[in-house]
């Protein structure tokens, strides 16, 4: 079985080091030399540089030198060939690329870990990338990882249901995890692993079979998405209310000039904290329409009245232009 270029390079390097140690000990014994003189003699013999001998070579020491020369030429040649093979096959570039990726992963914060780069994962990743949201893709399939990297996405080849891959994806600093592997069972394990490593992460899991929703939720998923059910509801809505669906598409995927549905979090001591909607005059001053207020993680007010007082931690669902909310965010 042929060794990989990396293993051959490691083996060749170890062979040269072992020969150096062997030669140093041999010259110390046969030539009655110090450690430094023996090491010097070994190095110049293996490298065949032709410098003057540092110790007197007679009898067995000369035969030992011939042995070191033969072994040295062979090991050095093997090391050079292995190094060239390592570089020409791209392993050096891969190694440098992995180190660069590790640095980028370490800098990630408040990012999304996308587990699986199939049809669903690809759309999720590309949409987040369009919104300039930080993300990392984790997939066990090498071809899918290469496909993600072709889109210039930070990607890891690994099993997202295993802690090692999730730790490499810097799960501890992630804000969200998207479990969209091929099988529902894998998404259950991914949800369980993600919540175990980062209980605060917002986990969204994709399922194929509706009966698996309860299992995924018990595993820790905060939201469960069934593309087949969503697609069916959307087709029905298009048949019955196509104008409404088109309008919602404009709001959620509009251009820079269009109005969009956005989220606005009330920050402590921010411009919204402790003030009522009437006092804020969001529509008059900023062109922002508040559609709903979510308090303590629950959508409690879908028809907010002017006297509604906002508190730190509340989340507003608003209709606004892309740049209208910048003045309201500290």
The CATH label, of 3.40.50.300, 3.30.2310.20, 1.10.287.70, 2.60.40.420, for the domain at 5-88 is 1.10.287.70
Going from the C-alpha of 297 to that of each of 128, 157, 217, the distances in angstroms are 23, 34, 17
As a whole number of angstroms, the distance between CA 230 and CA 76 comes to: 64
pTM for the model: 0.60
- Tens of pLDDT, residue by residue over 303-314, are 788 888 888 888
Residues 37, 43, 44: CA angle, nearest 5 degrees: 90
Domain ranges of the chain: 5-88, 108-230, 250-328
Q: Which of 292, 283, 287, 285 is nearest to 310 (CA)?
A: 292
As a whole number of angstroms, the distance between CA 127 and CA 253 comes to: 10
- Tens of pLDDT, residue by residue over 131-179, are 889 999 999 998 999 899 889 888 888 999 999 999 989 999 999 999 9
**Which pair of tokens denotes residue 219?**
């595993």
Query: Are the C-beta atoms of 146 and 158 separated by less than 8 Å?
Result: no
Please say whether the dihedral angle defined by the alpha carbons of residues 207, 212, 215 and 217, taken in this order, is positive or negative: positive
Mean pLDDT of the chain: 82
Helix (H, G, I), strand (E, B) or coil at 320: strand
Please, which residues bridge with residue 299 across strands? Answer: 294
Residues 313, 204, 180: CA angle, nearest 5 degrees: 155
Query: Are the C-beta atoms of 161 and 139 separated by less than 8 Å?
Result: no
Domain at 108-230, CATH homologous superfamily: NAD(P)-binding Rossmann-like Domain (3.40.50.720)
Residues of the chain with pLDDT under 50: 1, 256
The confidence score (pLDDT) of residue 227 equals 83
CATH of domain 250-328: 3.30.70.1450
Q: Which of 158, 219, 213 is nearest to 194 (CA)?
A: 219
Q: How many residues does the chain have?
A: 330
């Amino acid at each position: 079985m042929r060794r990989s270029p990396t293993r051959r390079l490691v083996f060749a390097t170890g062979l040269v080091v072992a020969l150096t140690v062997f030669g140093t000990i041999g010259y110390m014994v046969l030539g009655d030399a110090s450690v430094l003189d023996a090491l010097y003699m070994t190095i110049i013999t293996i490298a065949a540089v032709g410098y003057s001998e540092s110790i007197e070579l007679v009898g067995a020491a000369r035969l030992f030198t011939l042995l070191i020369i033969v072994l040295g030429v062979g090991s050095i040649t093997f090391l050079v060939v292995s190094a060239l093979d390592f570089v020409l096959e791209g392993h050096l570039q891969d190694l440098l690329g992995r180190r660069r990726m590790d640095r980028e992963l370490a800098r990630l914060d408040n990012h999304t870990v996308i587990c699986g780069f199939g049809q669903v994962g690809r759309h999720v990743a590309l949409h987040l990338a369009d919104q300039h949201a930080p993300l990392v893709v984790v997939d066990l399939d090498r071809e899918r990882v290469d496909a993600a990297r072709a889109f210039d996405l930070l990607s890891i080849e690994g099993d997202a249901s295993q802690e090692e891959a999730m730790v490499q994806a810097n799960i501890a600093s992630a804000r969200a995890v998207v479990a969209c592997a091929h099988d529902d069972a894998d998404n259950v394990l991914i949800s369980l692993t993600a919540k175990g490593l980062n209980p605060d992460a917002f986990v969204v899991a994709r399922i194929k079979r509706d009966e698996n929703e309860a299992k995924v939720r018990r595993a820790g998923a905060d939201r469960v998405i069934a593309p087949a059910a969503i697609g069916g509801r959307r087709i029905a809505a298009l048949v019955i209310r196509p104008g409404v669906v088109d309008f919602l598409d404009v709001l959620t995927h509009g251009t820079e000039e269009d109005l969009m549905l956005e989220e606005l979090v009330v920050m402590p001591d921010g411009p919204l904290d402790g003030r009522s909607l009437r006092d804020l005059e969001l529509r008059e001053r900023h062109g922002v329409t508040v559609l709903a207020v979510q308090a303590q993680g629950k959508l409690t007010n879908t028809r907010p009245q002017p006297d509604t007082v906002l508190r730190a931690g509340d989340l507003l669902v608003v209709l606004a232009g892309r740049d209208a909310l910048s003045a309201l965010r500290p």
